[in-house]
Amino acid sequence: MGETGIKGIKLGKCWGGKVVEETRVVQLNATERTLGHDVNSTRTTKYTLLTYWPKALFEQYRRIANVYFTLVAILSLTVYSPVRPWTTWTPLVIVMGVSMVKEAIEDYKRYKGDQATNHQETDALDPETGEFRPVVWKRLYPGQIVRCKKDEFIPADLVFLGSSDPENTCYVETMNLDGETNLKIKKSLDECKDLSVEDLSKYQGSIECEAPNTKLYQFAGNLLVGPPEQTNRPKVAVQPSAVILRGCSLRNTAHIYGVIIYAGHDTKVFMNSTEAPSKRSIIERRVDYVIMFMFACLFSFCLTGAVFFTDWLQKNFEDHWYMLPGNTGTVYNPEKPGATGVGNFITGFILYGYLIPISLYVSIEMVKIVQSMVFIAQDRDMYHKETDTPAVARTSNLNEDLGMVKTVLSDKTGTLTMNMMDFFKCSIAGTSYGAGITEIERSNADRRGQILQEIDTAAADPYREKFFNFYDKKLMDQAWTKQERSPEIEMFFRMLAVCHTVVPDGPAVEDEIKYEAESPDEAALVVAAKVMGFFFCKRSNTTVTVREKTASGTHDVEYELLNVLEFNSTRKRMSVIVRDSRGKLLLFCKGADTVIYARLDNKNPLNLELKKPTLDHMEEYGNSGLRTLCLSYKELDSASYEKWQVQWEQAKTALTDRELKMDELSEEMEHNLCLLGCTAIEDRLQEGVSKCIKQMADAGIRLWVLTGDKLETAINIGFACSLITEEMRQFIITANFADVEALELEGDLDGASVLANTRVEEQLTLAAANMQGEAASMDCALIIDGKALTYALSGKQAKLFISCAERCKAVLCCRVSPLQKAQVTGLVKKQGDVTLAIGDGANDVGMIQSAHIGVGISGQEGRQAVMASDFAIAQFRYLTPLLMVHGRWSYKRITRMINFFLYKNMLFGVTLFCYNGFTLFSGQYMYSDVYMTLFNVIFTSLTPIIIGMFDKDVDKSAGIQYPQLYGQGQRNEYFTAWAIMGWLATSLMQCLLLTTFVLVGNQSDMILFQQGHPSTMYATGVLLFTTIIITLHWEVISILEQWTWIHHLSIWGSQAIWWVFLCFFSIFPLGLSADLYHLFIGIVGGSAHYWLYCLLLPVMAILPDFFYRAVRRWVAPAPHEVVGEIQWLARKEGRNLSQMPQPVHHVPEDTNATVVFRMMGEEKKHTGYVPEYDPQSKFYNQNQVATKHKDKKRDDGGLRNPVLDKLTASAGHSHRTGEGSEAVPVISNGRDAGAASQGSGSMVPGPAPEPAALNSP
């Protein structure tokens, strides 16, 4: 690699000589583009004028059928072709041309969008004149200083230099970047914030930063002040808060100044715009194998004909003197059998090409576009009126897969829940406050048959507002000032008002102000502080102002914001360091309970007093389905802080490992904390979630919920939304054991990992044994926490884990990371199940892209999940119509259409083979090559497309009311090898019947037409072709369940087009109509023999298959046929389908809830070291034999999981604890349950004359 003259930039052997950068140096006020830096021109098109033809043709020839038809078209130009070349080239050009034109139109739309973007204008600073002048975006480059105005989009990635705001801050909206509509505050560099335009034009300096990358929320760079030749230039750290990315829009600020650091395709938004993984449907992949089978049939036909013809030519040709055996040429030369055989093979290869449906792929594409862009997108049942959000099919490739889903993997927050947070309860200084009742508590009470006492809503109503649904008379209206622990309460709410990154918007009036928060949780906490008298009213670059109402009065207190230790998924906490008006240094830290408890000062008597009651309150809140957050603080020593601040500034300016160094320093500061309490925020379930989950369970769809919540919270929400029922046997897998935690506290992390891995294996082995044994006949639920999942996803554990999960109707994975979500999805996908992943946040993107089908929820966490998805809906409940209506219909329509294509082409193609056999495989055919060409393109093209678009066995309401129908797609009943062979066998039977009757009944010595004309070869061909056209359309008539005018139009219209063609084409000039010249009007059409055959032969051909279907429907009706009868009876009796008899569920005599749980002494659910996932680690692949343990204290009442003890409070169940390290997971029986397992019933069609049972899948 050669060095350039620019620091940190290297030239590599890359495509097109692209410069590879290790670090980037950008000179401010650069007058020309630096080598290796992209200009700001962007292109999203797939093609250019030069690359369109090669790329578009490459896309077409990725389909093997197009390769075959092109080869046939080329061979038709040779002497071996039995047909005229234009008859093979015409359909090929039409089919490929339609696809290529479609590609060109779509790409032209992208080109127009690129042109509009590249020609937008922004103001760029001219260093020579010191003035801003308008410049189009595509001419901008790194180093230029630009001015962006209010409501304009940012043209490139900028370092924020200054603003019209006195505080030198600005607000940006990142909707186009991550989908979030809340405003983000940005802070300019202190070094440049007071510079005027003239000063900026003369400013000398450079920005040294990392090379272009995909990290949207991270940035490492420094501003070097002074000219480049100056040594030891002052260095100023550039924080991520000073970087504004392309795609953001400026809000609430008149204008800003910034220097471009990344332009064009180097910007972070373009670096992140990688193409989603290419997904093909299960059916489409299977079609490839079917086409290969048809190719095999084609080659066998060709080979059979070539061998037979060559053998006959050698043995018998000399005896046929009228063929002039002495003047044959190469094609029929018996002395050259090799050349003759090859020539005959090529002839057959062209002739039998009708076995391969040339228009299949185009038809599939047309049907899928209508299914997705019309039926799914226009479905009012999936339109969310409150947010004006329709369903969106972002791809049409996977429509039929929606009808085959076996496993749904779902996020919880924002997917099952509304992600609209309300401050609901809190624990302060060991006392719990808040009297509300959550939906989870109501669900648990209903399940236990209890009645909860509701609070006085009239007293709470005056305090309710967005994000706040809390009432406790001990705190409201400053009543907290009279409480015994008022100092702790005051500090608690002060922390809520100060420790956040919320941006206030609007006047500093409590009733009018709005808060722009990065998450609804933060907004809820700030609103709670406001209601309690700590009104966060103003934020600047360095200060936070809070209007505090305390016992001493109301005061505006300004806190100097010194440091923000930001939240990330690794730290699981967020801290701020502030200096109050008295000069006191305070650190406020909030985060997950496990993280905060590990950093408390164990010598502080207040912590010793508050830890247990606060932990109990968090358990209680978690059981109620609330999201908990732990709050703590500490006072800092000035001298220690100043020393730490020096190290912090050094870490901020580091170009390598900046994040790691800052995390280490944050860890150093966040210790010896003082516990204040915890908050509990309610995230209510979405409307219709329980019903949707129940319907999916009845449909045989397993639901996995992957959530970051605690075990108890996840279980309670599982009960509330009907994911888990009391009738299910629950198996809980965890890695939190006392002996494992003891090793972790001792620092023996390797030993702890080995032991935890063994414990997880023991639990999974025991669960698998019980699922195969006494629990085999029951519905099961598997619950596993994130720590246990780390081991369960690795090595041999993965097979054991997935084998257990596949036997369960519901799986709950708790405390999982985004990476684990994607890993779990990939593991389920590998088992062969069609998987659907649904989520609403950026942390769900990996899961969505890993699944067969990704569904994004247009929710509160931005649109990153939607942008990565295949389908987008507004509510979880819309999965019901998406899967059980559109998915089921799409699967049946596509598979039936493909089967019909194969059937009709086999029927037609084999007639060519049969007749060729009659002519000793000489390559002769009895059809005109004109209508042979139009067979796929005109005469039989409309009917399969109409089937694919509009075929419907039962109505929409029936598909939802009887979810058991969905099992047909899961079992792939319509596109198994047997189903396909059934269609092909039918075509062969009909082909033999039609060919035999036509050829036997139309011999050349028979006078069948007027004026004494005998039956000629082409007249026989017209008759046989007519019977084929009629037969295949009448076959469709025999299988259709519902008719519409468009079905009539396609079926009868296609047949009519054939006769219209015969009438008009036969009067064309002889040179064009050739063998059809006056054949139909003058000869065939006037024969009663022809019309009699057209009536009788198709009826005879379809009768065997029709009788088979009728008998099967009578003896063993399919589920949709039973529901169809119910539907017919409902219409006949003038009733709605909902008024007809519903499924009857059989109730088992004895159903017990059973739980696998751990007994390792006292549980510590909120602590524990979670090792990083490393598939190569010895801890994940060790082959240890699980130790057998015995339960020494089991009684007749059995053992209950402590979580369920809190939920059910059933009499006769006790919680016992084992001793030391010998205790292991055990099996216990819960109370008897009289209700039945879901989906175990049958459907009875009620008053139907012959009742038929429909067993659930």
Sequence-separated contacts (24+) of 858-864 with Cβ below 8 Å: 858/384, 858/387, 858/389, 859/414, 859/415, 859/419, 860/414, 860/418, 860/419, 860/420, 860/520, 861/179, 861/180, 861/414, 861/419, 861/519, 862/178, 862/179, 862/180, 863/175, 863/178, 863/179, 864/178, 864/179
Q: H/E element holding 665? A: helix 658-669
CA distance 187 to 524: 25
- Per DSSP bridges, beta strands 235-238 and 392-393 are unpaired
Active-site annotation, residues: 411
- Nearest-angstrom CA–CA distance, 93 and 466: 61
What SS3 state is found at 332?
coil
Tokens of 1162: 């006292």
Q: Which residues of 94-125 are buried (b: 16+ CB within 10 A; e: fewer)?
A: ebbeebbeebeeebeeebeebeebbeeebbbb
Compute and round to an integer the Cα radius of gyration of the chain. Answer: 37
Question: Could you tell me which residues are beta bridge partners of residue 1156?
Answer: 731, 1227
Q: How far is the CA of 578 from the CAs of 4, 496, 582, 583, in angstroms? A: 46, 13, 11, 9
Compute, in degrees rounded to 10, the torsion defined by CA atoms 236, 242, 246, 249: -150
Contact 652, 239 (CB under 8 A): yes
Given a contact cutoff of 8 angstroms between Cβ atoms, the answer to whether 203 and 28 are in contact is yes
Kindly state the helix (H) or strand (E) to which residue 421 belongs, with its residue range: strand 417-428
Contacts of 718 (CB under 8 A, 6+ apart): 705, 724, 781, 783, 810, 812
Helix then strand then coil, % of the chain, to nearest 5: 45, 20, 35
**Is the torsion defined by CA of 185, 191, 195, 200 positive or negative?**
negative
Q: Is 14 exposed, middle or buried (0-12, 13-18, 19+ CB in 10 A)?
A: exposed
Q: Do the strands 1226-1233 and 1151-1157 form a parallel or antiparallel pair, or are they unpaired?
A: antiparallel
**Secondary structure letter of residue 935 according to DSSP:** I
CB atoms within 10 A of CB 778: 19
Check: CB of residue 686 under 8 Å from CB of residue 876: yes
- Pick from 564, 540, 560: which is nearest to 662 by CA? 564
Q: How far apart are CA 146 and CA 197, in angstroms?
A: 11
Nearest residue to 59 (alpha-carbon basis) of 10, 30, 111, 101: 101
Q: Are 392 and 871 in contact (CB under 8 A)?
A: yes
Query: Is the Cβ–Cβ distance between 674 and 634 less than 8 Å?
Result: yes
CA–chain centroid gap for 1119, Å, is 30
CA–CA gap between residue 834 and residue 824 (Å, rounded): 14
Residue with tokens 């059934």: 982
Q: How many CB atoms lie within 10 A of CB 572?
A: 14
User: What is the token pair recorded at 808?
Assistant: 């369960």
Q: Is 167 exposed, middle or buried (0-12, 13-18, 19+ CB in 10 A)?
A: middle
Other beta carbons within 10 Å of 193: 18
